[in-house]
Amino acid sequence: MKFKRLRLIGFKSFVEPTDFVIEPGLTGVVGPNGCGKSNLVEALRWVMGEASHKAMRAADMNDVIFSGNQKRPARNTAEVSILIDNGSRTAPAQFNGDDTLEVSRRIEREQGSLYRVNGREVRARDVQILFADASSGSRSPALVHQGRIGEIIQAKPEQRRRVLEEAAGISGLHARRHEAELR
Ligand code: ATP
Ligand code: MG
């Protein structure tokens, strides 16, 4: 699975619809302080199903919605979508019928989030499993935040094992087992 495009609408400082085209190879994002680089990475984690507002540097999940400035009023919705190339057909069975998958998450102020895959409404859990299987996901070691290297060095063996399991590509199995146990 390859990411092809990230689209932000009303998410944090990205009030106007903004597309980031992700070409094959290495992509760099550069810009002055406060231009939205971290917001962009947070958008990626958010659409993958991040449930913690703290991970979004927000006091509350509604705070990911554009909060207005001197020139523009606040918005009531935010939406992030990611276009995925599934040509390798490695998505979970329920999504594996299509060559491209568009995963979107939309939040309406005080109404919570709604997830869709190719226009069809799905649960947050389905989206989280989709990305966990791809060794990605909002908590994936593929996303290294500031201070993370130090955390791994100081982590307890159990926590460090999770990082190794993610690298081994078995996190999706854990997520499924957890779900099966809840049923
Ligand atoms: P640095 O180089 O300092 O790390 P950065 O490019 O990572 O900067 P971000 O932290 O992504 O910058 O962006 C911060 C900006 O986003 C601030 O100007 C902040 O006001 C704005 N911002 C954050 N949340 C919202 C929101 N809900 N509505 C509008 N603007 C927001
Ligand atoms: Mg930053």
Tell me the ipTM for this assembly. Answer: 0.98
Total residues belonging to the chain: 183
Region 22-39 average pLDDT:
93
Strand order in the sheet with 120-122: 18-21, 2-9, 77-85, 100-108, 112-117, 120-122
Task: Look over the chain and give the mean of its residue pLDDT values, rounded to a whole number.
Answer: 91
Q: Strand 18-21 vs strand 77-85: parallel, antiparallel, or unpaired?
A: unpaired
- Looking only at Cα atoms, what is the longest distance across the chain? 51
Taking the complete model, does pTM exceed 0.80, yes or no?
yes
Strand locations in 10-142 (E): 18-21, 77-85, 100-108, 112-117, 120-122
Q: Indicate if the alpha-carbon torsion angle 9, 119, 107, 90 is positive or negative.
A: negative
**Is 146 a pocket residue for ligand 1 (Cβ < 6 Å)?**
no
Q: Which architecture characterizes domain 2-182 according to CATH?
A: 3-Layer(aba) Sandwich (3.40)
More confident residue, 110 or 97: 110
**Is 38 a pocket residue for ligand 1 (Cβ < 6 Å)?**
yes
Residue of minimum CA distance from atom 1 in ligand 1: 33
Model confidence at 84: pLDDT above 90: yes
**pLDDT value for 125:** 94
Measured from the alpha carbon of residue 36, the closest ligand is 1
Sorted by sequence, the CB contacts under 8 Å of residue 171 that are 6+ apart come out as 132, 133, 135, 137, 140, 162, 165
**Is 74 a pocket residue for ligand 1 (Cβ < 6 Å)?**
no
Q: Which of 6, 9, 13 to mutate to test the pocket of ligand 1 (most atoms within 8 A of CB)?
A: 13
Lowest mean pLDDT among 24-33, 99-108, 117-126, 169-178: 169-178
